């Protein structure tokens, strides 16, 4: 379930999204009393999270003091790994990404060695930006689900077979020297897009995130949906073909088994006799090779079926695609999903569903993990 913002976080978010703003305006925006706003703002000023930045224009009465976020007051970093790469992003209090890096890392490496690389990449980016360590409040690590949130560990993941049960949260915190949380990569990607990306105005967002697997991060009424165990969004296990191919989850006909990168690669090899990775198949499709284009259209069609069901259940107003798995062919998926929603979405007479590509396509989960780490600190 989605949590609720504390009054402190509610006020800080209102300042962030409506700055410069006054205490009176904050009371209207949040529904809190003037006395509550006064007390909360006093604490935010004391902690250096907001600053008084001038006065409003006079309307005949006393000019109102305006408030804005002190964006350099706090930072958090996010790390995303999988598919042989490590992405790191650092966000400031306003929600802007102030730095990012991406490096190769064999996902088949021993988990301990991989965590050392992740921590080295994260600390290297912090040092290169000259960020005061006292302002760095936390780290979020985005990983493929399912996750064991109680232990801060990974569950079974197709591309990380040696990581099942590995205490990622504890090990990264020790290696990087910073308090750490772990997050489902799709949920993290959605949170980042809703906080600082193209979906800031969305009330009901699904972020379809594809790496080796497929997830869907959900933002409802501005808050991420985690579910009872923090594993909401295992979208890849939505059944799209009854009696279809066996999935790693034990079911048949799941979206991931029908339309995911591994499924497309297997189908291409069976059709052509040539083994190619998803990126090369995508390049062939863009060059209009018939076999590659046909398989990607089938994959996008299955994705559209699953997204349509999700949109109808949650009354979505926006769908965004993200993740390194889409590569250069994300536009093919956007076209397919948008066409399906335009013609079959149950509530289309009331409103449409905007479909697009993340502003942080390849490192969306890293950006989102940094946002979630910030919000946890500010709660």
pLDDT at 83: 66
**Crossing angle, helix 185-196 and helix 364-378, to 10 degrees?**
80
> What is the separation of C-alpha 218 from the centre of its chain, rounded to a whole number of angstroms?
9
- Between the two ends of the chain, the Cα-to-Cα distance in Å is 17
* pLDDT one-digit tens code per residue, 221-278: 878 888 888 888 889 999 999 999 999 888 999 999 999 999 999 999 999 999 999 9
Strands (E), 221-358: 223-224, 318-322, 354-357
pLDDT at 1: 38
* pLDDT one-digit tens code per residue, 67-106: 999 989 999 999 998 767 899 999 998 888 999 999 887 5
Q: What share of the chain in percent tops pLDDT 70?
A: 95
Is there a contact between 91 and 370 (Cβ–Cβ < 8 Å)?
yes
pLDDT at 192: 87
Position with higher pLDDT, 2 vs 252: 252
pLDDT at 197: 67
Q: Is 250 exposed, middle or buried (0-12, 13-18, 19+ CB in 10 A)?
A: exposed
pLDDT at 198: 65
Dihedral (Cα; 311, 184, 336, 239), 10-degree rounding: -70
What is the mean predicted confidence (pLDDT) over 27-46? 95
* pLDDT one-digit tens code per residue, 315-343: 999 999 999 899 899 999 999 999 999 99
Q: Report the distance separating Cα 25 and Cα 10, nearest Å.
A: 13
Place of tokens 């993990």: 369
Q: Report the distance separating Cα 210 and Cα 213, nearest Å.
A: 6
pLDDT at 106: 56
Q: pLDDT band at residue 212, thresholds of 50, 70 and 90?
A: confident
Helices (H), 287-329: 290-314
User: What's the chain's average pLDDT?
Assistant: 91
């Amino acid at each position: 379930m989605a949590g609720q913002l504390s009054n402190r976080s509610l006020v800080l978010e209102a300042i962030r999204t409506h700055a410069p703003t006054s205490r009176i305006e904050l009371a209207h925006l949040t529904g809190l009393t003037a006395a509550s706003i006064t007390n909360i703002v006093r604490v935010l000023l004391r902690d250096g999270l907001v600053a008084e930045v001038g006065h409003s224009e006079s309307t005949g009465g006393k000019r109102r003091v305006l408030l804005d976020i002190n964006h350099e007051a706090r930072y958090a970093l996010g790390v995303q790994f999988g598919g042989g790469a490590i992405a790191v992003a650092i966000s400031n209090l306003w929600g802007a990404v102030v730095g990012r890096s991406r490096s190769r890392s064999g996902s088949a490496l021993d988990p301990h060695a991989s965590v050392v690389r992740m921590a080295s990449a994260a600390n290297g980016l912090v040092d290169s930006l000259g960020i005061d360590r006292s302002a760095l409040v936390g780290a979020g690590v985005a990983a493929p689900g399912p996750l064991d949130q109680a232990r801060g560990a990974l569950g079974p993941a197709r591309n990380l077979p040696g990581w099942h049960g590995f205490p990622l949260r504890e090990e990264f915190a020790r290696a990087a020297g910073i308090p750490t949380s772990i997050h489902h990569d799709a949920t993290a990607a959605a949170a980042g897009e809703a906080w600082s990306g193209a979906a800031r105005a969305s009330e009901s967002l699904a972020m379809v995130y594809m790496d080796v697997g497929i997830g869907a991060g959900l933002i409802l009424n501005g808050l991420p949906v985690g579910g009872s165990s923090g594993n909401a969004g295992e979208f890849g296990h939505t059944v799209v073909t009854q009696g279809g191919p066996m999935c790693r989850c034990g079911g048949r006909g799941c979206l991931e088994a029908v339309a995911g990168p591994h499924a497309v690669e297997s189908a291409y090899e069976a059709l052509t006799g040539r083994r190619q990775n998803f990126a090369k198949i995508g390049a062939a499709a863009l060059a209009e090779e018939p076999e590659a284009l046909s398989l990607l259209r089938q994959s996008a069609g299955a994705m559209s079926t699953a997204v349509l069901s999700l949109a109808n259940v949650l009354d979505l107003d926006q769908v965004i695609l993200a993740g390194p798995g889409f590569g250069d062919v994300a536009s093919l998926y956007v076209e397919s999903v948008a066409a399906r929603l335009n013609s079959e979405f149950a509530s289309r007479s009331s409103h449409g569903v905007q479909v697009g590509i993340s502003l942080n396509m390849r490192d969306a989960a890293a950006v989102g993990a940094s946002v979630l780490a910030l919000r946890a600190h500010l709660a």
